[in-house]
A and B are shown apart, each in its own frame.
Chain A
Amino acid sequence: MPLNIRTYHELTDPDRSGLGEQIATQRRRLAARLAAVGRVIVVMSGKGGVGKSFVTAHLARALARAGRAVGVLDADLNGPTVAGLLEAGTARLVVGEDAVLPATGSDGVRLVSMAQLLADGQPLAFKGPPAESFVWRGAAEAGAIRELLADVAWGPLDVLLLDLPPGMQRFLELCDLLPAPPAVLTVTIPTPESRDAVRRALRAATERRSPLLGVVENMVDGPFAGTAGADLAVEFGVPVLARIPWHPTPDTWAVLAGRLG
């Protein structure tokens, strides 16, 4: 004879733990922190090694030189490099009352990165039971990203650039965390292999209704042959915002910054 057990929703007294409400509070805190941010742009690719961090850093600097208030969140927790490119890799973070102040990098770009938090040369490792760490590590990384967005006093920004690691996982986490799907700036190199990987990323972004800003084709006029930038632009109806040569000049980045508006 089965027990007659009422369901969760049939129990009407408050849930003291209120885990759902705690999560909702986290979301509200994040939304409030980003309320003064004009645009959140993720710099992503489905492919590693195409120069996302390089593009992020130089784009941020160009925007800052053009008079914009720019922040960069290095969302590549396991391979953070953009902080070094912005010459703030070892900057210490100042702890305020309810938020941490971002470091200031090249050209006044505000920046937070796991590179600033990790001991030299150490991988990102979490305290906790090592067995079955795959169960909770993803949640821990998503929690870290949430805190880097919500617990940093970004202040009024025209643009917050998020430098993503290769793959789609971080983008999907951000879509769940942010109040609205972030705008996407896609980086590729010219090769067909890169095109195919980036295509998957762009499709995921489209499915999440993220605005597609355009494609940056990096490392052109070098050893990588192909037309990935143009192909993706046609396929997704977006512009090729820049074709970055092997040795870009400040003007290269200024043009890209200008096209982003």
Chain B
Amino acid sequence: MKFLCVECDRQMTFEERQLPGDGTLAAAFRCPKCGRAVALLTNPMETQLVSSLGVKIGGATVPAEPLETIRGMVATGREDAFTEPVGRSDGRTVGLSWSAEAQDRLARVPGFVRGMVKKIYADYAKERGIDEITPAVMDAARSELGLEEM
């Protein structure tokens, strides 16, 4: 995709990309000679088509995350489909899991801090090579990290 300033007969350069949050996309280009800027505006269907291809107008600035399109676009996905890796003492890498009791306990944490609390417990477990978080692990973390209120 290139833009030509017809009056100057010069290729315009990409300036910036904006995602206003309504499903549309704006990409601005400027003529290096006369300074005139134009914006490419795509409707939600066009924006979606580009997203579906896993590409970014204006170029990709960071490498794609694993399964980025699936994780970002699937509307009916499981909340707990993905988990974090834990390196065990035997050298194997396994997924971090939460016991049913630990999940119940986490669910009682107020929603506005639940994500932060979950990360604290997950980091605690990963650092110690623990692959399942149980109430006992949560108690140990609270005690060691001084999180008696969580």
A192 vs B4: C-alpha distance in the bound complex, in angstroms? 58
B12, chain A: closest CB distance, angstroms: 9
Is the pair A143, B59 in contact by a Cβ cutoff of 8 Å? no
B99, chain A: closest CB distance, angstroms: 14
A119 vs B63: C-alpha distance in the bound complex, in angstroms? 28
CB of B115 within 8 Å of the partner chain: no
A72 vs B149: C-alpha distance in the bound complex, in angstroms? 45
Is the pair A147, B4 in contact by a Cβ cutoff of 8 Å? no
Is the pair B74, A22 in contact by a Cβ cutoff of 8 Å? no
Is the pair A136, B83 in contact by a Cβ cutoff of 8 Å? no
A34, chain B: closest CB distance, angstroms: 15
In the complex, which residues of chain A have a beta carbon less than 8 angstroms from the beta carbon of B57?
A: 17, 19
Instruction: Take A22-B60, A143-B54, A144-B70 as given contacts and tell me if A93 and B95 are in contact as well, using a CB distance cutoff of 8 Å.
Output: yes
CB of B73 within 8 Å of the partner chain: yes
Query: CB within 8 A of B66: which of A6, A98, A122?
Result: A98
B17, chain A: closest CB distance, angstroms: 9
| Smallest CB gap from B79: residue in A | A119
Q: Bin chain B's interface residue count.
A: 35 or more
In the complex, which residues of chain B have a beta carbon less than 8 angstroms from the beta carbon of A123?
A: 76
B57, chain A: closest CB distance, angstroms: 5
CB of A85 within 8 Å of the partner chain: no
In the complex, which residues of chain A have a beta carbon less than 8 angstroms from the beta carbon of B27?
A: 17
Is the pair A13, B11 in contact by a Cβ cutoff of 8 Å? yes
A41 vs B2: C-alpha distance in the bound complex, in angstroms? 40
Q: Bin chain A's interface residue count.
A: 35 or more
In the complex, which residues of chain B have a beta carbon less than 8 angstroms from the beta carbon of A19?
A: 1, 53, 55, 57
CB of A234 within 8 Å of the partner chain: no
Is the pair B85, A101 in contact by a Cβ cutoff of 8 Å? yes
Is the pair A15, B84 in contact by a Cβ cutoff of 8 Å? no
Is the pair A140, B73 in contact by a Cβ cutoff of 8 Å? yes
| Smallest CB gap from B97: residue in A | A92
Query: CB within 8 A of B95: which of A92, A143, A148?
Result: A92
Could you write out 22 A-B pairs with CB less than 8 Å apart?
Answer: A16-B13, A17-B55, A22-B59, A23-B53, A23-B55, A25-B60, A94-B84, A99-B66, A117-B78, A126-B73, A127-B75, A129-B44, A131-B45, A135-B45, A135-B48, A140-B48, A140-B52, A142-B52, A146-B54, A147-B66, A147-B67, A148-B67
Residues of A within 8 A of B (CB): 3-6, 8, 11-13, 15-19, 22-23, 25-26, 92-96, 98-101, 116-120, 122-129, 131-132, 135-137, 139-140, 142-144, 146-148, 151-152
